[in-house]
Amino acid sequence: MSDIIQLLPDHVANQIAAGEVVQRPASIVKELLENAIDAGATSIELMVREAGRNLIQVVDNGVGMSETDARMAFERHATSKIKSTEDIFRISTKGFRGEALASIAAVAQVDLKTKKEGAEVGTNIYIEGGGLQFQEPVQTMAGSNFSVKNLFYNVPARRKFLKNNNVEFRHIIDEFHRVALAHEKLEFSLFHDDDQIFKLRKGTQLQRIVEIFGRKLHPLLIPVKEDLGWVKMEGYVAKPEGAKKVRGEQFFFVNGRFFKSPYLNKAVQEAFEGLLLPGLIPAFFLYLELDPEKIDVNIHPQKTEVKFEDEHLIFALIRSTVKKALGIYNIAPSLDFDRDPKMDQMFGAPSKGNSPSFKIPEIQVDRSYNPFLEEIQEATTEVENLAEQYHHSIEAAPSKINLFEDEEFDEDLMRLPNGYWLLNKGEKTLMLDLGRMHRLVVAEKNKNKKRENVSHSLLFSLEYHMNEIEKNKYKSIKKHLPALGFDIKVAHETVLRIDAVPSGLKETQVMKFIEELFEIMEYRTEEQFMDFYNQKWNKLQSKSRFDFIYKTDAEQVIRDFSDLGFPTYLPDGKRCFIELPLEDLKNKF
């Protein structure tokens, strides 16, 4: 029987390794930016074409490389960052495995021009599909200039799995943000298809955050700082009014490296307990510093996850420090504005003076508490394809019901303190979310009514300050806005002047409504934009469940909702009502 185990050829091994390192253009952006930082650069330019498919170029003013080092940099497991196994456990640089450049060169055409400071000439290397094509002297600036062209040209199966340019460029911007936010002392520029997207000057953490995410975030940010000796934390969290339903402005850094951690995200969320509505996510930018030996950054191929030696202590630090910051700025109650007692207990810090500490009893009343909620949730089963079921419940005639065949409203109706209403109909008792029901009623009326798109002029123009991401999104939607009743012009590079808005949109609602139009990651078609716009417009015109105080208003919404067939779900899958399990409740007594 012949042997079946064999060594893979180098080019195949490199392509397999590239599968871990190079998932999409943004992966290359991350590696090249981090290499530039490790090279001591103070100014870094990133240029991409076709969202990185055709070109990713990074130019830096770092130390540059010699002729030999330039060639060795493309060998697998060749690195200047570690020399022994022990070095892996005290890593302070970004890249260290020695796989990145070899992996990138295996699936693209790479051109490198580099020169050390003081050298007369530099060196130019061109590699295609992992194979060296030439290396020759070249006149070039000190530093390094990497050009990665035609990504996955030799692996068409991988190339076809890339998303459209909007999605891929969004990932590139995410990586650019993560690196730029971690190094506010360095200058960064980003160009896409010759358009300048970012030009970031060196400055403070706060200046860098505002430069990236826009001036409107500035007044919402409050500083966070704690120094326990073995670990330091500083940064900013946004006030509750800066929270959103979508993620995007949540950043953790440790020793200058961005990382993801759902566990530590929960620590921030818990610090905001009682301050946010369900589903909202606070914005934060938190920077940790501790001994490199106390963390492991080598647990994920993209190095986006880290393992802390004392993770539960880091959790407590984040939760307590953020909570203290919220208290100092009168956003959450706090008994001691100088130190959080939980921090003293957790980390053994001495108490002030010699007097004993007393905990003042606190009385907390949860006005939204519903004693039956747990049973209700247990009785509510998971349902797949909720949107389809909603349409089915609207369109399928046999399933439609009308609770109000008689003109007289003979049902028992009662409002609960948490804004929900109880409706007794025969042997059934329903808990209603009148806000969601009203949203469907409004949507149905708007669907059947031809929109006139009448606009009304504002007495005084409004100014909306865009961040760089919103600036690019505006380019894709501005052609649709006039037909909807908006008169919006670019007054400055990042400022929109709003002179008129659709009738029905109050002046106090304009800024929030515009911001919500920028929330979605991308609009691929005009139809997709209009669907999202109509969804937001209907929500704007709808009342929340807390707006329904009077029984007559509740009755009218229930009648209108019943005319729709009493559908169970909104198009996004949220329930409009639930049936209380009366038999189960009887067993509680």
Residue 554 CA to residue 262 CA, distance in Å, equals 40
* pLDDT of 46 above 50: yes
Handedness of CA 244, 246, 248, 254 (dihedral sign): positive
Residue 534's pLDDT band (cuts 50, 70, 90)? confident
- Of 332, 307, 243, nearest to 280 by C-alpha is 243
Residue 172's pLDDT band (cuts 50, 70, 90)? very high
Under 8 Å between Cβ of 503 and 485: yes
- Of 338, 397, 417, 383, nearest to 564 by C-alpha is 397
Average pLDDT across the chain, whole number: 80
Reduce the secondary structure of 129-151 to three states and give it as a string: CCEEEEEEEECCCCEEEEEEECC
HSE, side-chain direction, 13 A CA sphere, residue 163 = 13
Handedness of CA 373, 375, 379, 382 (dihedral sign): positive
Q: Sheet holding 487-492: strands in order across?
A: 455-465, 495-502, 487-492
Residue 464: both structure tokens together = 């909306």
* AA identity, residue 415: R
CA dihedral 96, 112, 107, 69 (to 10 degrees): -40
pLDDT, tens digit (0-9, with 9 covering 90-100), for 327-359: 888 775 443 334 444 444 444 443 334 433 434
Strand 43-49 and strand 187-192: pairing?
parallel
Q: Which of 137-151, 220-234, 293-307 is predicted least confidently?
A: 293-307
Residue 481 CA to residue 486 CA, distance in Å, equals 5
Instruction: Specify burial of residue 203 (Cβ count, 10 A radius: 0-12, 13-18, 19+).
Output: middle
Question: For tokens 């407590």, what's the residue?
Answer: 316
**What are the beta bridge partners of residue 44?**
60, 188
Instruction: Tell me the pTM.
Output: 0.65
Residue 418 sits at φ, ψ, to 5 deg, of -85, 10
3-state secondary structure of 281: strand
Residue 93: how many CB atoms within 10 A of its CB?
20
pLDDT, tens digit (0-9, with 9 covering 90-100), for 125-153: 999 988 999 999 999 999 999 999 999 99
Under 8 Å between Cβ of 417 and 365: no
Q: Which of 123-132, 269-278, 335-344, 439-448 is predicted least confidently?
A: 335-344
Kindly list the distances between the CA atom of residue 215 and the CA atoms of 271, 509, 535, in Å, as whole numbers in the listed order. Answer: 25, 19, 27
User: What are the structural domains of the chain?
Assistant: 10-200 (3.30.565.10), 205-347 (3.30.230.10), 367-452+503-589 (no CATH)
Residue 29 CA to residue 149 CA, distance in Å, equals 12
pLDDT, tens digit (0-9, with 9 covering 90-100), for 235-269: 999 999 888 887 889 999 999 999 999 999 999 99
